[in-house]
């Protein structure tokens, strides 16, 4: 494969104790945020759609741990994990899922539009592929202003069939912009397996068409994702241009919501196989084996996060609803 950086080695090299703990905490935060959101949805408390990220945590955690606050990301319809990992608070996220005025979008956006400009979260997106060119624009702005921040765009395997992806990739490459293209390949676009929506096995091959280097990583291994991301970010920051990372991963829940499948489109065995390589189990085993954290310390992360989530849900539920009189708020600036 021309331009392909070496496929990241299975056995990831040495990373610091601090990085392992950081990756673990980010993943636990996503997992618990998402499982709680799923429960709230099942209990009929949340309006709208909910696309859960559980299973893919290693990707968001690995990439975000390589970014600064001023680095920008664009996300997808499955965006909660990216937002949590980028540091968006639980309170404003749950409040948004509930449609409260205290939410990240003041109750106007809901699950698919969560953003936090202060943390470089340029928004989840309801239109598949639409975030790709937006990240290219964010990277352009950084270079234009003489800043050294980078932009990361997250997208699925399915999204790489849409024009915006191809146009955005070519634009970033030809302008040499600091954009990292992160494909979270979970093998499905809604209910269609990858083998039935493209003839490629590796989405990373698409990068070559634009003269962009790419790397494939195990998307269940947060350390592997992190190392690839750190390299791509350093490269982009130094002015060497865009790069693509394809992380092979899996979503545990259905495309939308948490309920069982109306029509089975993947087997229980397949789901079980991926769950056997759960990204949080993997990092916990590694943390304990490497002496990065004790079991008790890891349990403490789960406990503290659960408490924080309970508090944030209570905050959301106690928050006021938006006022219909303010319907036209923010349609325009100024």
Partner 1 sequence: MTTTTQAPGVPPVAASRKLTYVKAFNEGLAQAMREDENVFVAGEDVAGYGGVFRMFDNLLDEFGPRRMIDTPISEAALVGLGVGAAARGLRPVVDLMFMDFIGVCLDQIVNQAAKMKYMFGGAVSVPLTITTASGAGLGAAAQHSQSLEAWLAHVPGLKVVMPCDAYTAKGLTVSAIRDDNPVVVMLNKVLLGSPGEVPEEIYGIPLGRAHTARQGSDVTVIALGRMVGEALAAADELAAEGVQIEVIDPRTVQPLDTETMFASVRRTNRVLVVHEAVTFGGLGAEIAAQIQDAVFDHLDAPVLRIGAPFSPVPFSPVLEKAYVPDRARIAQGCRRLLERS
Ligand X SMILES: Cc1ncc(C[n+]2csc(CCOP(=O)(O)OP(=O)(O)O)c2C)c(N)n1
What residues between 95 and 134 interact with partner 1 by CB under 8 A?
Answer: 96, 99-101, 105, 107-110, 112-113, 125-130
The yes or no reply on residue 159 touching ligand X (CB under 6 A) is yes
State the nearest-atom distance from the C-beta of 53 to ligand X, in Å. 8
The yes or no reply on residue 82 touching ligand X (CB under 6 A) is no
> Which residues sit opposite 248 in a β-bridge?
185, 218
Residues 6+ apart with CB under 8 A from 85: 26, 29, 30, 57, 60, 61, 63, 64, 65
Q: Which does 78 bind (CB under 5 to 8 A by kind): ligand X, partner 1, none?
A: ligand X
Q: Which does 48 bind (CB under 5 to 8 A by kind): ligand X, partner 1, none?
A: partner 1
Of the residues 69, 147, 190, 311, which one makes contact with ligand X according to CB under 6 A = 190
Crossing angle between the packed helical segments 131-144 and 163-175, to the nearest 10 degrees: 20
DSSP 201: S
**Max CA separation in the chain (angstroms):** 58
State the nearest-atom distance from the C-beta of 163 to partner 1, in Å. 6
Of the residues 34, 71, 157, 278, which one makes contact with ligand X according to CB under 6 A = 157
The yes or no reply on residue 322 touching partner 1 (CB under 8 A) is yes
Residues 6+ apart with CB under 8 A from 307: none
Q: Are 261 and 199 in contact (CB under 8 A)?
A: no
State the nearest-atom distance from the C-beta of 318 to partner 1, in Å. 16
Of the residues 21, 45, 197, 277, which one makes contact with partner 1 according to CB under 8 A = 197
The yes or no reply on residue 314 touching ligand X (CB under 6 A) is no
Of the residues 55, 62, 156, 241, which one makes contact with ligand X according to CB under 6 A = 156
Give CA–CA dist 325/194, Å, rounded.
46
How many helical (H) and strand (E) elements, i.e. helices and strands, does the chain have? 11, 7
The yes or no reply on residue 186 touching ligand X (CB under 6 A) is yes
What region does 249 belong to: left with phi over 0, alpha with psi -120 to 50, or beta?
Answer: beta
CB closest to ligand X, residue no: 156
Of the residues 44, 146, 291, 324, which one makes contact with partner 1 according to CB under 8 A = 324
CA dihedral 126, 180, 192, 164 (to 10 degrees): 60
The yes or no reply on residue 188 touching ligand X (CB under 6 A) is yes
State the nearest-atom distance from the C-beta of 77 to partner 1, in Å. 9
Contact string (CB under 6 A) for ligand X, positions 39-78, x = contact: -------------------------------------xxx
What residues between 264 and 283 interact with partner 1 by CB under 8 A?
Answer: 265
Give CA–CA dist 152/242, Å, rounded.
10
Q: Of the ranges 3-11, 29-37, 156-164, 266-274, which one interacts with partner 1 (CB under 8 A)?
A: 156-164
Give CA–CA dist 224/205, Å, rounded.
19
Q: Where are the beta strands (DSSP E) in the chain?
A: 72-74, 151-156, 179-185, 188-189, 192-193, 214-218, 243-248
The yes or no reply on residue 201 touching partner 1 (CB under 8 A) is no
Q: Where are the beta strands (DSSP E) in 169-232?
A: 179-185, 188-189, 192-193, 214-218
What residues between 250 and 269 interact with ligand X by CB under 6 A?
Answer: 255
Q: In what order do the strands lie in the sheet with 151-156?
A: 72-74, 151-156, 179-185, 243-248, 214-218
The yes or no reply on residue 7 touching partner 1 (CB under 8 A) is no
Give CA–CA dist 319/332, Å, rounded.
25
Q: Please work out the total of residues on this chain that contact ligand X, with binding judged by CB under 6 A.
A: 16
- Residue ranges in contact with ligand X by CB under 6 A: 76-78, 126-128, 155-159, 186, 188-190, 255
- Residue ranges in contact with partner 1 by CB under 8 A: 47-49, 96, 99-101, 105, 107-110, 112-113, 125-130, 158-159, 161-164, 189-192, 196-198, 263, 265, 321-322, 324, 327-328, 331
């Amino acid at each position: 494969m021309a331009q392909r950086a070496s496929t990241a080695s299975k056995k990831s090299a040495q990373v610091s104790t601090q990085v392992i703990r950081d990756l673990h905490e980010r993943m636990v935060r996503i997992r618990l945020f998402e499982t709680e959101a799923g429960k709230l949805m099942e209990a009929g408390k949340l309006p709208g759609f909910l696309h859960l990220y559980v299973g893919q945590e290693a990707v968001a955690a690995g990439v975000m741990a390589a970014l600064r606050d001023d680095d920008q990301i664009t996300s997808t319809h499955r965006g909660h994990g990216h937002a949590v990992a980028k540091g968006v608070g639980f309170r404003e996220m749950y409040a948004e899922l509930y449609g409260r005025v205290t939410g990240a979008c003041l109750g106007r956006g809901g699950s698919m539009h969560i953003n936090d400009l202060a943390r470089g979260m340029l928004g989840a997106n309801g239109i598949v592929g639409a975030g790709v060119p937006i990240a290219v624009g964010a990277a352009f702005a950084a270079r234009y202003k003489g800043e050294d921040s980078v932009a990361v765009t997250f997208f699925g395997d399915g999204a790489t069939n849409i024009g915006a992806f191809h146009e955005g990739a070519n634009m970033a490459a030809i302008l040499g912009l600091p954009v990292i293209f992160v494909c979270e390949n979970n093998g499905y676009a809604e209910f269609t397996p990858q083998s039935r929506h493209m003839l490629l096995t590796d989405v990373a091959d698409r990068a070559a068409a634009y003269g962009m280097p790419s790397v494939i990583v195990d998307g269940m291994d947060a350390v592997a994702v992190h190392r690839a991301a750190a390299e791509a970010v350093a490269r982009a920051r130094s002015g060497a241009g865009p790069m693509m990372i394809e992380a092979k991963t899996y979503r545990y829940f259905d495309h939308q919501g948490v309920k069982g499948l109306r029509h089975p489109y993947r087997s229980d065995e397949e789901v079980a196989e991926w769950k056997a390589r759960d990204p949080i189990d993997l990092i916990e085993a590694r943390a304990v084996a490497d002496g990065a954290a004790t079991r008790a310390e890891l349990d403490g992360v789960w406990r503290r996060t659960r408490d924080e989530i309970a508090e944030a849900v209570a905050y959301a539920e106690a928050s006021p609803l938006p006022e219909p009189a303010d319907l036209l708020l923010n349609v325009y600036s100024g």
